[in-house]
């Protein structure tokens, strides 16, 4: 009899956070994984790594987040860390026009290494919206053109950070489950009680349907309220466990 450990049931997911320097990428994963925020800026040299364990849609997930340097001189190093990525954050700062204009280039860099994966566009520092260097319409048009879901966020205020990663993980799990279902041979798939003539039991309504999020949201969010993210539910989940390498 083989021994099964908790790790055998975990779903490992690798995420990469990309964008220009000083847009808040390091602060974002620090906030999400460790629940802390510092206003002191320290340039990332190469890559940083943090992870968090969470439970979502009845899956135990180990989310490994790679924070990559935003300066061009590190491109040769950081692009190798994109490989194997399953989700990605495209981040820019509300107060930095150049970081916004660079988003299509960052998306292309990731896709060149890993192909079409689940992504989200994140406008960080919306707590400084009065200093915005781009209009609301421009941001929404960017999300629409790139076909990614838009999150307006503030790492400082812990606004929309939990929601961001919940969306990315849920979307990845949905696409993964769909691929598994498509690859199961037809003769091995479970019988459908509605269409299987050999079933003696009448079909029953599903009182607990599984809700799956799409890869692309179909349109960016246009309304938001700046307030701390709560992100808690009545379901008991594991406390975040983070490791800094």
CATH number of the domain encompassing residue 73: 3.40.50.300
Is 166 inside a domain boundary?
A: yes
Q: In what order do the strands lie in the sheet with 118-124?
A: 47-56, 59-68, 10-18, 87-93, 118-124, 149-152
pLDDT digits (tens, 9 = 90+) for 135-169: 999 999 999 999 999 999 999 999 999 999 999 99
Q: Which residue in 58, 104, 107, 65 sits closest to 84, CA to CA?
A: 65
Is 163 inside a domain boundary?
A: yes
Domain limits for position 67 = 9-175
**Count of beta carbons in the 10 Å neighbourhood of residue 88:** 25
Residue 153 has phi, psi (to 5 degrees) of -140, 160
- Say which residue the tokens 């983070």 belong to: 242
- Say which residue the tokens 């607990």 belong to: 208
Low-confidence ranges of the chain (pLDDT < 70): 1-8, 39-47, 69-78, 178-245
Is 156 inside a domain boundary?
A: yes
Total-model pTM: 0.69
Alpha-carbon distance of 213 to 155, in angstroms, equals 24
Our count of domains for the chain comes to: 1
Is 92 inside a domain boundary?
A: yes
Give the per-residue pLDDT at 49: 82
Is 157 inside a domain boundary?
A: yes
């Amino acid at each position: 009899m083989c021994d099964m450990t908790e790790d055998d049931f975990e779903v490992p997911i690798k995420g990469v956070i990309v964008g220009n320097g000083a847009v808040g990428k390091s602060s974002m994963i620090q906030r999400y994984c460790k629940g802390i925020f510092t206003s002191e800026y320290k340039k990332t040299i190469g890559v940083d790594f943090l992870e968090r364990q969470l439970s979502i849609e009845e899956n135990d997930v180990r989310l490994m987040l790679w924070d990559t340097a935003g300066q061009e001189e590190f491109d040769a190093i950081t692009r190798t860390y994109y490989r194997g990525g399953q989700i990605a954050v495209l981040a820019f700062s509300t107060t930095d026009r150049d970081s916004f204009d660079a988003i299509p280039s960052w998306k292309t860099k990731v896709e060149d290494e890993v192909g079409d994966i689940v992504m989200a566009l994140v406008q960080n520092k919306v707590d400084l919206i009065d200093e915005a260097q781009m209009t609301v319409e421009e941001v929404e048009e960017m999300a629409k053109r790139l076909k990614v879901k838009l999150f307006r966020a503030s790492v400082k205020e812990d606004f929309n950070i939990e929601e961001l990663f919940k969306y990315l993980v849920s979307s990845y799990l949905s696409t993964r489950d769909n691929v598994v279902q498509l690859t199961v041979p037809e003769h091995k798939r479970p019988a459908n009680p509605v269409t299987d003539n050999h079933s003696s039991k009448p079909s029953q309504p599903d009182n607990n349907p599984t809700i799956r999020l799409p890869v692309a949201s179909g349109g960016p969010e246009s309304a938001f309220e700046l307030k701390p993210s709560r992100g808690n539910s009545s379901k008991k989940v594991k406390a975040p466990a983070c490791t800094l390498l």
